[in-house]
Amino acid sequence: MAANNALTPPARIGLVGLGLMGVPMARNLLAAGYSLTVYDVNTQVLSDFAAANPAASAAASLRALAGVCDAVITMLPNGKIVRDVVLEGADNLASGLAAGTLVIDMSSSSPVGTRELGELLAARGLALIDAPVSGGVRRAVDATLAIMIGGDDAQIARCEPLLKAMGRDLFRTGGLGTAHAMKALNNYVSAAGFAAAAEAVLAGTRFGLDPATVVSVLNASTGKNNSTELKFPQQVLTRKFAAGFSLGLMVKDLRTALEVAQATGMKAPIAQATVDEWAGAEALLGPGADHTAMVKFVEHLAGSTIEDGPIQGD
């Protein structure tokens, strides 16, 4: 069975984690024709998904899900939860997985922890690849996510058709853990760009510029980034703050990115400053706030908001 699994693309898929990202990803797997079994610790979420998607099967436990799948996707808040679900909980996946089964961690996990988990699963005859995603809920819905993939080349080739059902841009990053490292580094660059834009827009507004003009000029100039192009017009200037990714998860990813840099022995002062600023926002607003609400922390430090307009100097 293990030898066949190593050569055959998985057809029976399990997905653990029906959150904001997991739900549309699961729907896209169903749309692509995969046999799908789902599980979530929240039984109401699980039953709601099963009712809305009758082609999917809802598992009563992780072990039950493991017994009917060729590959299992985890889409969970962090690597600690992934490890507990896969290996260490009273009800875990590894206890029910057949040798040769593939585990695909699409969560934003610590790359160091991913490598440790990979070794533990390999000792049980199980394969692990890391395949975190970028693009947010909107791109999860329309199956255009960017997916970074780390691990054994043969295992990656085996699951590429599966991943293409959820994403448009697939990037092989190298050995196990490199994809999780890349995801954290991407979010660091994104968060640093957002923080810089927040400070620039607020400073411009206080000086007498219209905030929409500041954003428009940035987007027509060299200061343009994902945040100025999408998040500021859609979330910040409208004060919606509902992009669908929490402040707590962003801070977690930023700390992971700093961990990656420090693991190589390099100094990363901008990464450290970015962690500190976003951690301050988390302390003020709470981990459940949308990450775009971080602009409120910048406003808190300045003592005014983007909506207040110019601040008269002395």
Q: What is the mean pLDDT of each run of 10 residues along the chain (314 residues)?
A: 54 96 97 96 96 96 96 95 94 94 95 95 96 93 97 95 96 97 96 98 97 98 97 98 94 95 94 98 98 98 95 67
Q: Does one domain contain both 287 and 169?
A: no
Residue 161 falls within a domain, yes or no?
yes
Specify the CATH number for the domain of residue 50.
Answer: 3.40.50.720
Check the CA dihedral 62-63-66-68 and report its sign.
negative
In this structure, are residues 305 and 299 in contact, taking their beta carbons and an 8 Å threshold?
Answer: yes
| Domain stop point among 147, 173, 199 | 173
Residue 84 structure tokens: 């507990």
Q: Are 25 and 15 in contact (CB under 8 A)?
A: yes
Number of domains in the chain: 2
Measure the CA–CA gap between 263 and 257, rounded to whole angstroms. Answer: 10
The answer to whether residue 297 sits within a structural domain is yes
Instruction: Please check whether residue 76 lies inside any domain of the structure.
Output: yes
Query: Does residue 96 lie in a domain region?
Result: yes
CA distance 234 to 236: 6
Give the pLDDT confidence score for residue 181 in this predicted structure.
96
82: containing domain: 2-173
Q: Are residues 253 and 275 in the same domain?
A: yes
pTM: 0.89
pLDDT (0 to 100) of residue 313: 62
In this structure, the answer to whether residues 167 and 189 fall within a common structural domain is: no
Are 137 and 194 found together in one domain?
Answer: no
183 is annotated as an active-site residue? yes
Give me the catalytic one of 164, 183, 224, 240.
183
Are 66 and 115 contained in the same domain? yes
Is the Cβ–Cβ distance between 9 and 159 less than 8 Å?
A: yes
184 neighbors 260 (Cβ within 8 angstroms):
yes
Residue count of the chain: 314
The CATH number for 266's domain is 1.10.1040.10
314 in any annotated domain: no
Point out the domain boundary residue: 127, 148, 173: 173
pLDDT the model gives residue 141: 97
Residue 94 resides in a domain: yes
- Indicate if 205 and 131 belong to the same structural domain: no
Residues 136 and 43 grouped into a single domain: yes
State residue 173 phi and psi, 5-degree precision.
-105, -15
Please state whether beta strands 57-58 and 102-105 pair in parallel, antiparallel, or not at all (unpaired).
unpaired
Same domain, 203 and 133: no
Residue 250 lies in a domain: yes
Residue with tokens 């959820």: 166
Q: How far is CA 223 from CA 186, 193, 220, 243, in A?
A: 17, 9, 8, 21
Q: What is the reported pLDDT for 9?
A: 78
